[in-house]
Structures are given as C-alpha cells and as structure tokens.
Structure 1
Amino acid sequence: MKVLIVDDDLISLRKLEWLVKSLGHETITAQNGEEAWQIWKDQGPRMLITDWIMPKVSGPSLCEKIRNSEGRQYTYIIIVTTKRNTHDLIEAINAGADNFISKPYSKEELSAKITSGQRIVDLESRDMIIFAISKLAESRDVETGNHLERIRYYSKILAQHLHKKQKYDGQVDHSFIDNIFLTSPLHDIGKIGIPDHILLKPDRLDDEEFAIMKTHTIIGHETLIATANKDLKADYLKMSASIALSHHEKYDGSGYPHGLKGEEIPLPARIVALADVYDALVSKRVYKTSYPHDISKSIILKGNKTHFDPTIVEAFLACEDQFIEVSNLYKDH
C-alpha cells in the first residue's frame, strides 16, 4: 500500500518513513500540509499519516481538505499527536481523521493502526472491483436492467432466513450473508465470453447455440477462481466462483454444467438459482412478458425438489412479501 507521511520535523519524518517501510509499504513524504495536499491530488495514496501541528496547513486542516475533495476512493487518515484533550480529538475526528497515534509510539502500535486502516481500504477496493466487473458483464446484455440489484437482495433475504435454521449453524453466518450479497451479481460474469450473436439473439437458441451459451458457467468459474487462488483470504471470490459455476445446476441432477444433485450443489449456488429464476419470471424480456408474483410463485413451487432445493423454496415462501418489495423497488423502467 502507498502511504503518504507528513511531518515538518525531518528527524520525525525519517523515523516514521523507516518504520512504515519496514512494515512492507511504499512511502511518499512531505514536510508540510500544503506539499502533502499537492501530492495527494497528484498520486492519490490510500493512506495518510500526518503530524498535527505543521506550518501552512495543519493535520486537521489537511484532513478536511481531503474529505471535501475525495471521490469514491477513500483515503484512510492517521494523525500523529501529543494532544490528548477530548475536545482536540473530537475536532480532528470532525475534520475527517480515522485514527490517532500518540507520541511517543512503538513500531507495534504503528503496525496495528496501519493494519486496521488497510482492512478498510481493502474492503472498499473489493467492493469497487466486484461492482465494476458486474457492470462490465451487465453492459453486454441490454435486457438486464436492475437485475443485478434484485438478485443480490433476493439472495440476501434467503440467506438471512436460512441463518435462523439450526441446520445451517456454522455455515450461514453474517460473513456468508455479506458475501452472497456482494458476490451474487457475478453469477453471469462468464457471459463476457459468449459471442454477441448468441448472447443477444432475440429468438430461441438452437441446440448448438445453447451448448455455447452454457459454457458461460465454466468461463465465469475459471475467471473468478484464478483470481481467488492468488489470495487465500478471498473467501468472497471463492463463493462467487462456485455461484458462477453451479447456479444452473438443478436439485434433481438435470442441470448443467456437471449435473450435480441435491447438496452436491454448493449452497450459495442453490440460493442464487432460485433468486435468478424468480427474477427472470417477474421481469419483462424481449422473448416474454413479465409474470405477476402469484404465477411466478406457482412456477417456483412446481420446481420444488426438481429444480430447487426444498429448503430454499421454504425460505422463499416465508419471505415472499420481501421479494415483492424488492421487485417493486428495483423495477425496470
């Protein structure tokens, strides 16, 4: 991570620079707030460690300038200070500071503060990457509209209901719910690799075209799992890969690409499978009109134990009012 360090005292600046580098981060330095402001505008570092009292622009003033100017990319700001007065600390927080290091400080304390900030930066980067990739896939299909928003909320609703079931203790927790909300929009990412004449064909696909279309599950899985394998902590990418691969599998084993059956199908994929079909039913497409909720519900029930996991169908029935609310809230215009 690139860290901008600001201190008007050269000895303090070099000490802090050495410590941050020893923790494995790239550093940029500035000796006053005005210089730091220009560097931040030019290079956009994701973390800033600044002294409080400096000539020209103080630490809190620098915080305020950054907060008033930053866009979607967040900068995590740590202020180094001897101040301990509650009023002063509140002033800095209001100006936009995220954390403090009190002088004198140890390497261990500095490391803990930086690690805390990096978690926030990494989470934001993760969300932005997933959103960007999802929108890239969506841009190739003019019919999707708010499909991705609806899918993520349907999936979250189902996961929240399963969280209450003893059967899923230890499997569906708050992290699972957050991850399925975050990654379910990636379920059709593999469609990026499908030719336009098939993906955008308004008529029914023939057998050869459908065989090509089905490969989007493999393409999506290979793309996401390759990325996940580079980061052993990227559980959300592993989940997204399993969803991309298996959301067209069916509970009775008649789905694709591998004909998985029952609980051989990963739970996130079983959840997204129902969410995806429901949304296709209630949404208008070039090849079909939208069905009202009751008809869509009856089709879901017809697929119970064949297309869909009966536990997921049970969750859907328990939450159908929430499904209707999401469908209306994110209706395509």
Structure 2
Amino acid sequence: MDDDQRPRVLIVDDETFYIDVLVGALNERYNISVAKNGVQALQRVASGKVPDLILLDILMPEISGLEVCRKLKENPSTADIPVIFLTIKSEVDDEVRGFELGAVDYITKPISPPIVRSRVKNHIALAQSKCVLSDQNRVLEERVMRRTDEILKTQDVAIVCLASLAETRDNETGNHIKRTQHYVKLLAEHLKDHPDYCDYLTDETINRLYRSAPLHDIGKVGIPDHILLKPGKLDADEWDEMKRHTTHGYEALVRAEQDIGTTTFLYIAKEITLTHHERWDGSGYPEGLKGKAIPISGRLMALADVYDALINKRVYKDAFSHEIAAEMILRERGAHFDPLVVDAFAALQSEFDEIATRFAD
C-alpha cells in the first residue's frame, strides 16, 4: 500500500521507551506521527492531516491525556477520531473517566505489541465502516429528500390543476386560489404562538394548510352553469344547490382517500372544503357548526374566502375597496368569524392588501 494511503496513527506519550515500542509495533502498516505531550498532540491534530486513530497516554505533563481527549471530542472536526488510552493497571478511575469522555478502548502498560496491533487494526476498521455507513446514510437522505420534493411538487401540480379546473367553471375568480392560500398562511403564521392555536398550528400543519387551501372550492365543478354563473340573486332552490359545492368537494376527496389511503394532507383538505362556509354563530353551512366545533382550518379559510370575495368583482356584485371590506370583516367578529381570527386580520390588514395587489386579476 502507498504510504499516503496507509491509515494515520498519532502516538502521544511522554516516555521515549513506550513511543519506541509502539512505533516498532505499528510502523509497517501505518503512517506514524508522534507527540511527547498533550499540547504537542493538539497542535499535530490541528496543523496536519487528521489521524485515523490516536494512542494517548493518560499521565503526561502540562495537559493530561483525559483533558486532550475532552478537547478532541468537543471539536466537531476531531470528535470522531477513535482514541485508545495507554494506562497502567492501577488507573481504574481514569479508565472510567476516559470512557465517559469518548475513548473507545484501553491498552495497559507494559505494552504487548500483538495486542496493540490487534486493537489498532480493529478500531480503525470500525471507524472506517462507520464513515462508509455515514456516507451511505447521507446519500440515502439526499435521495429521500429529492424524491420527497418531487412527490410534493407533483402533488402541488395536481392540486393546482384541480383548483384551476374549478376556476374554469367560474371565470371571474382569477387568482382567487393564490390569494386565499396566502391569506390563510398569513393568518396561521400570526396565530401559531397563541395558546388556543399553538398545538395545532405547527410549521408542518401551516404548510399543509397553505398547500391544501386551493382545493376549497373544487366542489363548484358539480354546480350547474345556470346557477354558478347567474348574474342576479339566487332563489331558494338555487341557493340550496350552490351550497352543495362544499359537500361535492368533500365527497370527491373522501373517494380519493378511499382509493389511496388517508393522509394528514387529505384530512386538512377535507376540513377546508367542507367547513369554509361555516359561521362562528352557527348559522353557516353545510352542517351549521358553531364556535370551536368548526375546525381551525375552516375558520381561517372562511375569513380568507370572504375577504377575497369582497374586494373582487363577481357576476353578482362590484368590488369593494380594501377599507370597506376590512370594516365589514371586523363587524363580523364573533358572528361570522372566530374573534381571534378577526383580531389577527386586524393586525395584518396591510399584508392582506399587499397580497391582493400582488395577485390582482
């Protein structure tokens, strides 16, 4: 084996006799470097090639072997170097302390060359195996991350396609799905530290809310054109049919869940689709849920959806200004909307207006 390819062993001992014994035992198979005290050992490690293993005497002047080991293990760049302590049989307490500091083994003095060779060989092989395994794990993690990212992007494409399909049935909504998903995320980020919301609004849940929000109106694909696009007020029967878009969307997601299995994402998407027209006072639809019986996802989506409907033109109404829409939202605190969600909106009005402008039709 080429000298540069041989494993590197650093011998640290203040006694020349033991250094000579160790060098003689290991020189044929390893690249050997020597330090005669702890300070010199740390300098060798810091300035040269990092050794593959260190043979470290415990009792040395200036800095003990235990202190050298502690410093090595505290440094991320040297923490994984196997350290074998050199000790005499009476140093039992030092052995225990050394293992606590991260040493992998002990060799007792007087030194037996065959034992030294065997221990060094085994621990270098073990360290190399750990390194290979670590590299493999890192490669696998990177592959999993790339694959997960691909799956999420594919899922997002499917979501946008479904939501866009619903938009084609109601061509005045434009960027409605983009705006509302940003409103929902904005509200969720603001509320995530509130005691009533912090258990639910984790970073992972907020991401799922953001990604599933575009699906809230997919049930509109099941509403007839003469109702969905009617320029005037709906009669009672037409309004009953329009309200069914919540259950149409929910049932479509339930069927998907039955085919592919349940996921947290689908669970949140079902909640949003079904409950975004529920009202805090219980007068909403389709189930007339009241107060905290309404899922948080539905409460957030309710305000986002109404605000966007107010500030944009529809076949049945002109657009309101942000100021008028905000005033209307604030008046519905505790009636249409969760009071805490309205408070969040009040604190975020300028951000809502900015999102509306950024994604204007």
TM-score band, normalised by shorter chain: 0.5 to 0.7
Q: Which amino acid aligns with 2:289?
A: L
4+ aligned runs moved over 4 Å, structure 1: 102-114, 229-233
CA distance in 2, matches of 1:157, 1:113: 30
Q: Percent identity?
A: 42
Q: Which amino acid aligns with 1:188?
A: D
Equivalent residues in 2 for 1:163-178, closer than 5 Å? 163-178=192-207
Structure 1 residue 210 corresponds to structure 2 residue 222:
no
Match of 2:171 in 1: 142
Query: Which 5+ residue runs of structure 1 have no aligned equivalent?
Result: 1-101
TM-score (norm: length of structure 2): 0.60
Equivalent residues in 2 for 1:257-296, closer than 5 Å? 257-296=286-325
Partners of 2:279 and 2:336 within 8 A in 1: yes
SS of 2:196's partner is helix
Structure 1 residue 250 corresponds to structure 2 residue 279:
yes
Q: Which amino acid aligns with 2:158?
A: I
String of CA shifts for 1:117-175, please: whole Å, max 9, x gaps.
43222111111111111111111111111111110111111001011223222210111
Match of 2:251 in 1: 222
Equivalent residues in 2 for 1:40-119, closer than 5 Å? 114-119=143-148
CA distance in 1, matches of 2:134, 2:352: 52
Q: CA deviation at 1:113?
A: 5.8
**Equivalent residue pairs, number:** 231
Partners of 2:227 and 2:242 within 8 A in 1: yes
- Are residues 297 and 103 of structure 1, via their aligned partners in 2, closer, same or farther at CA, if it must alter by over 3 Å? closer
CA distance in 1, matches of 2:159, 2:245: 18
Partners of 2:191 and 2:198 within 8 A in 1: no
Q: CA deviation at 1:231?
A: 4.6
Q: CA deviation at 1:267?
A: 0.3
Partners of 2:311 and 2:320 within 8 A in 1: yes
Partners of 2:311 and 2:325 within 8 A in 1: yes
String of CA shifts for 1:1-41, please: whole Å, max 9, x gaps.
xxxxxxxxxxxxxxxxxxxxxxxxxxxxxxxxxxxxxxxxx
SS of 1:139's partner is helix
String of CA shifts for 1:80-111, please: whole Å, max 9, x gaps.
xxxxxxxxxxxxxxxxxxxxxx9999998886
Q: CA deviation at 1:291?
A: 0.9
Equivalent residues in 2 for 1:24-43, closer than 5 Å? none
Match of 2:357 in 1: 328
How well do the aligned residues superpose, as a CA RMSD in angstroms? 2.3
SS of 2:230's partner is coil
Match of 1:235 in 2: 264
- Are residues 105 and 258 of structure 1, via their aligned partners in 2, closer, same or farther at CA, if it must alter by over 3 Å? closer
Mean Cα displacement is larger for which, 113-122 or 299-308? 113-122
Q: CA deviation at 1:194?
A: 0.8
Match of 2:152 in 1: 123
Q: Which amino acid aligns with 2:333?
A: N
String of CA shifts for 1:168-204, please: whole Å, max 9, x gaps.
2221011121111111111110001111111111111
Rg bigger for which structure?
A: 2
CA distance in 2, matches of 1:106, 1:321: 48
- Are residues 112 and 204 of structure 1, via their aligned partners in 2, closer, same or farther at CA, if it must alter by over 3 Å? same
Mean Cα displacement is larger for which, 185-194 or 278-287? 278-287
Q: Which amino acid aligns with 1:253?
A: G
- Are residues 171 and 232 of structure 1, via their aligned partners in 2, closer, same or farther at CA, if it must alter by over 3 Å? farther
